[in-house]
């Protein structure tokens, strides 16, 4: 076992119950070659992965390939913003931030959903991931109006607490930074170990367009650990949500 995974291995060994993982890869529509390489890593182990697709960058060719892949490997598809551009003139980047009116947000999210439905059909799931993991209460209202019942952001985002909208945040960023400086693989391993002890599902955020050969090798090591450990399991985002619903009902 490589050293960077030791904190996670130790956390899993000590876990009283199986730890649930899910993987969300953002920016489908960019760098198709790297996307395919990442999907191959997951397919080789039959591990679920969810893709957040950018409506304006999703092509018919890529959409057809993803729909075909979803028939032979556990692959979820949902909406990632609209054009993946920031509209803020100051502060942090955000496509659906305070600079956008409620009407503008509703238009973009609705048009993006229609585009993806045309390309992906029933494979498109009613989940929305905003670029840069940021949005506003107007975004949440638009999602509910459009029938998109799930919002996925980062664990640090303040819950919007709107009736009709569930939230499924990611817990660990594969490319985590501090003051703009990448933390490195060791820090990611420490975060995985720390989050494995929390009750929430351990969502890992990926960006395939930034993943090189070393990243794919490390991802293979992580997936192999999850697949082999009796206290670890990996579900799709849809399965996590369904399981949570059943737990609440009981």
The pLDDT score that the predictor gives to residue 195 is 95
The pLDDT score that the predictor gives to residue 176 is 83
The pLDDT score that the predictor gives to residue 245 is 67
Q: Give CA–CA dist 231/15, Å, rounded.
A: 7
Domain edges within the chain: 3-249
pLDDT tier for residue 250 given thresholds of 50, 70 and 90:
very low
At the topology level of CATH, where does 3-249 sit?
Answer: TIM Barrel (3.20.20)
Q: Give CA–CA dist 95/145, Å, rounded.
A: 19
Q: Give CA–CA dist 232/144, Å, rounded.
A: 33
Q: Give CA–CA dist 43/73, Å, rounded.
A: 6
pLDDT tier for residue 249 given thresholds of 50, 70 and 90:
very low
Mean model confidence pLDDT for the chain: 94
CA angle 19, 24, 27 (to 5 degrees): 170
Tokens 């995985």 map to which residue? 192
The pLDDT score that the predictor gives to residue 188 is 94
Angle, helices 6-14 vs 185-195, to 10°: value is: 10
71 pLDDT above the threshold of 80: yes
What is the tens place of the pLDDT at every residue in 179-236? Answer: 677 788 899 999 999 999 898 999 999 999 999 999 999 999 999 999 999 999 999 9
The pLDDT score that the predictor gives to residue 20 is 97
Instruction: For CA atoms 24, 235, 169, 83, give the dihedral sign.
Output: positive
Specify the higher pLDDT residue, 250 or 51. Answer: 51
pTM given for the model: 0.94
> How would you label 76-98 residue by residue, b for 16+ Cβ within 10 Å and e otherwise?
bbbbbbbebebbeeeeeebbbbe
């Amino acid at each position: 076992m490589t050293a960077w995974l030791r904190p996670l291995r130790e956390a899993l060994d000590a876990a009283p119950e199986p730890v649930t993982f899910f993987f969300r890869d953002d920016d489908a529509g960019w760098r198709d070659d790297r996307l395919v390489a990442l999907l191959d890593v997951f397919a080789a182990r039959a591990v679920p992965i969810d893709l957040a697709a950018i409506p304006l960058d999703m092509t018919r060719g890529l959409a057809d390939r993803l729909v075909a892949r979803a028939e032979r490997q556990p692959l979820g598809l949902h909406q990632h913003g609209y054009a993946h551009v920031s509209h803020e003139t100051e502060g942090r980047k955000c496509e659906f931030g305070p600079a956008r009116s409620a009407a503008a947000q509703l238009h973009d999210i609705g048009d993006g959903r229609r585009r993806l439905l045309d390309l992906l059909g029933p494979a498109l799931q009613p989940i929305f991931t905003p670029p840069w993991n940021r949005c506003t209460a107007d975004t949440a209202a638009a999602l509910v109006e459009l029938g998109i019942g799930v919002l996925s952001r980062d664990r640090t985002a303040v819950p919007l607490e709107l009736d009709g909208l569930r939230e499924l945040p990611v817990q660990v960023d594969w490319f985590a930074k501090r003051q703009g400086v990448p933390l490195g693989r060791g820090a990611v391993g420490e975060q995985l170990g720390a989050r494995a002890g929390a009750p929430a599902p351990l969502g890992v955020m990926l960006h395939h367009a930034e993943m090189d050969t070393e990243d794919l090798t490390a991802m293979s090591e992580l997936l192999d650990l999850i697949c082999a450990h009796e206290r670890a399991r990996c579900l799709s985002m849809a399965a996590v949500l369904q399981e949570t619903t059943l737990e609440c009902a009981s």
